Amino acid sequence: AASVVYEAESAAIGNGVVESNHAGFSGTGFVNSANAAGAYVEFTVTGAGDTNLAFRYANGTTIARPATLTVNGSTIETLQFAGTGAWTTWDNETVAAVLAQGANSVRLTATTAAGLPNVDALTEGAEGGGGTGPI
């Protein structure tokens, strides 16, 4: 199936703001979460069964910004979101997941006091391996 892009600036945001001051984002901006554990971005993703979720992000620090990925409230895993070298350098963290039919809540929640990386978008159906877990 074709991939579908969900922009973070259209997602539900917990403790963060939409900004556009670091170039290279898709759409009209990205989400800058507060530097706080529990900050989140929650996408509503239309179901497609077995699929891949690619989170496009930037982390201009040298320290990973881990976040728990939950789908419909169930924890899938903690993604690391390693440093990308600059706030204007965007990379993808891709994971396999299984979505239900219809609307799915796909949430990243920061696990450390650093908060989330800057989050640009989620691509559902991105290329990657099968199974469950990191690609």
In Å, how far from its chain's centre is CA 50? 18
Question: Counting every residue, how long is the chain?
Answer: 135
In Å, how far from its chain's centre is CA 113? 17
Site string for ligand GCU, 96-115 (x = CB under 6 A): -------------------x
Q: Is 72 helix (H, G, I), strand (E, B) or coil?
A: coil
Stretch binding Ca ion (CB under 5 A), from 28-36, 47-55, 60-68, 123-131: 28-36
First to last CA, the chain: 19
- Least Cβ distance, residue 61 to ligand GCU (angstroms): 6
- Least Cβ distance, residue 58 to ligand GCU (angstroms): 8
* Interactions with ligand GCU, residue window 5-24 (CB under 6 A): 22
Distances (CA, A) of 32 to 10, 48, 100, 129: 13, 28, 28, 29
- Least Cβ distance, residue 77 to ligand GCU (angstroms): 22
Token readout for 42 is 């929650």
Site string for ligand GCU, 74-93 (x = CB under 6 A): -------------x------
- Least Cβ distance, residue 21 to Ca ion (angstroms): 11
CB-based contact 75:68 (threshold 8 Å): yes
Query: Which of the listed partners (Ca ion, ligand GCU, none) does 22 bind, with a CB threshold of 5 to 8 Å by partner kind?
Result: ligand GCU
- Sole binder of Ca ion in the list 7, 8, 32, 66 (CB under 5 A): 32
| Alpha helices (H) in 1-135, listed in sequence order | none
Please report, as ranges, the residues that interact with ligand GCU according to CB under 6 A: 22, 32, 35, 87, 115, 118
